[in-house]
Structure 1
Amino acid sequence: MSWASTLYEAHLTISGHEITYREIVGNLFGLASAVGGMRRRVWAWPVGIVGNVLLFTVFVGTALGSEQGGTPLYGQAGRQVFFIITSVYGWVVWRRSRRAAADAPAVRPRWANGRERLAYLVTAGLLVVFCYWLFQQIGAGFPAPWWYYVADSWIFVGSMLATFAMARGWVDFWLCWIAVDLVGVPELIHFQYYPSAVLYAVYAVFVIWGFVVWRRVARDAAPALGLGDPVAQATS
């Protein structure tokens, strides 16, 4: 067995359940990326890409005949691919903004405007329906309840939306992540991806904090830009 295979298959056994180091390390990279995103640091994107690559191998493992049992989570695996693509885009955008302002954060948070919000909500709804059908076709050989395909479709689409919104600097992206975590954590627990479930639960708390931070920054910048805070307006 080569050293690469040894590293790939290395795992812990907890209560009879094998947990690969790839899943643990991939989620730690993801958490570090989230911290960088909240602080609006360019390094958040390449760090996140490393975690995405590791987690892709975890969630698609069963379909490829790997050692980890259970149901392959196609939405969880597929979104890692999109994360990598979108992270390259976000990396370029934030790096360009960072060069334009030497000591400033890489992006100035703002809320999506009405047209942008309508566009992403309609697009997300259509994509969830399409992914529900697609994942059923791909996973025909793996018995799973209907709600699994609904949940995985939303996790995939919601994650796509959140990552794109983060690259654009929209405060909305934190709300998307909250909605994804509310579905993703129970699904991961059900299919026994415990390290990912724990890390996503931590993400949920962190995401709420990040939302408060970005919303405050966007609110402070709004008067100068002639914009308002839609959450404050809705509750006033």
Structure 2
Amino acid sequence: MDWLNAEAFTAFGQHIKWSDMTGNLIGLTALALGWRRSVWTWPVQFASGLILFAAFATSHLTGSAGKQLVVMGVAVWGWRQWSRGHRQERDGAIAVRFATWGERAVMAGAALLGTLVVGGLFTLYPSLSWDPWPDAYIFVGTLVAMYAQARGMVEFWFAWLLVDLVGVPLNFANGYVFSGFVYVIYGVLVLWGLRDWWQRSRTAPALEGLEGAAA
């Protein structure tokens, strides 16, 4: 597995690793599929997590590797949610909605508490992370975003934006330059995806009302 952390090429004086490039390109594809509300976003996210897990594990980055295991687990759960439990629109894509205020409060509370717990754990065991608090923030924020995505909530995109704000500088600082650039592209896709999901969440109830009146 050494090839994963081998240098693919050099750009602007920065060494780009195969694992960093491959895993994040697949992750970018997963985000694009999420924007299109395709159920295939989840197996693609799983594949991205698998590659990054192998890369981090071979580099002895235990915390980052553990994060990918959790991401892979959430991807499996998200696949099940979208395959079985969620309403679909006429084009076969997943229907989306805004979260209730109660759901927002739960996610915000879980993000805060989770960051404190994970950050404290990383601080107690420095071998798990070189940047305990930013890493904890990204770790928990990613899980909250994936949870919201699995539930078809528009807030999924807001959560990703908040993760990006810390993820970009953290990846550059740790030498994962390609990840940093990909996070910038994530930001652009997130804005487009947010606009699309927002519009669809507004039009879906109106369409349902018209169909009900016609029936």
TM-score by length of 1: 0.79
CA shift, 1:78, in A, is 3.1
User: Shift of residue 23 of structure 1?
Assistant: 1.4
2:37 paired with 1:40? yes
Aligned partner (choices 127, 130, 138) of residue 155 of structure 1: 138
Distance apart, 1:119 and its partner CA: 1.0
Letter in 1 for 2:111: A
Residues 139-163 of structure 1 show CA distances to partners (whole Å, capped at 9, x for unaligned) of 1597x5xxx3221111000000000
Q: What is the count of residue pairs matched by the alignment?
A: 208
Aligned pairs for 1:68-83 (under 5 A) are: 72=61, 74=63, 76-83=64-71
Tell me how far apart the structure 2 counterparts of residues 45 and 208 of structure 1 sit (CA, whole Å).
20
Q: Distance in 2 between matches of 1:137 and 1:48?
A: 30
Amino acid at match of 1:138: Y
Q: Deviations over 1:44-86 (max 9, x none)?
A: 1111111111112333443x2xxxxxxx482x43332221111
Q: Give the alignment of 1:194-233 within 5 angstroms.
A: 194-223=177-206
The structure-2 alpha-carbon separation of the partners of 1:141 and 1:188, relative to structure 1 and needing over 3 Å to count, comes to closer
8 Å contact kept, 2:53–2:65: yes
Aligned-residue sequence identity (percent) comes to 33
Structure 1 SS opposite 2:92: coil
Q: How far has the Cα of 1:42 moved from its partner? A: 1.2
Do residues 58 (structure 1) and 55 (structure 2) align? Answer: yes
Q: Distance in 2 between matches of 1:163 and 1:201?
A: 19
Whether contact under 8 Å (1:120, 1:161) holds in the other structure is yes
Cα deviations by residue, 1:26-56 (Å, 9 ceiling, x for unpaired): 1111011111111011111111111111112
Change (3 A) 1:164 1:123: same
Cα deviation code 1:73-111 (max 9, x no counterpart): 82x43332221111111111212258x758533421101
SS at match of 1:111: coil
Alignment deviations for residues 167-224 of structure 1 (CA, whole Å, 9 cap, x no partner): 0000001000000000000011111100111111100111011000000000112446
Distance apart, 1:123 and its partner CA? 1.4
The 3 A distance-change label for structure 1 pair 16 and 101 is closer
User: Are residues 1:168 and 2:165 paired?
Assistant: no
User: Are the structure 2 counterparts of residues 219 and 101 from structure 1 closer, same or farther at C-alpha, using a change threshold of 3 Å?
Assistant: closer
Superposed CA RMSD: 2.5
Unaligned runs of 5+ residues in structure 1 are: 65-71, 227-236
Residue number among 110, 115, 129 corresponding to 2:97 in the alignment: 110
Q: Which residue of 2 aligns with 1:86?
A: 74
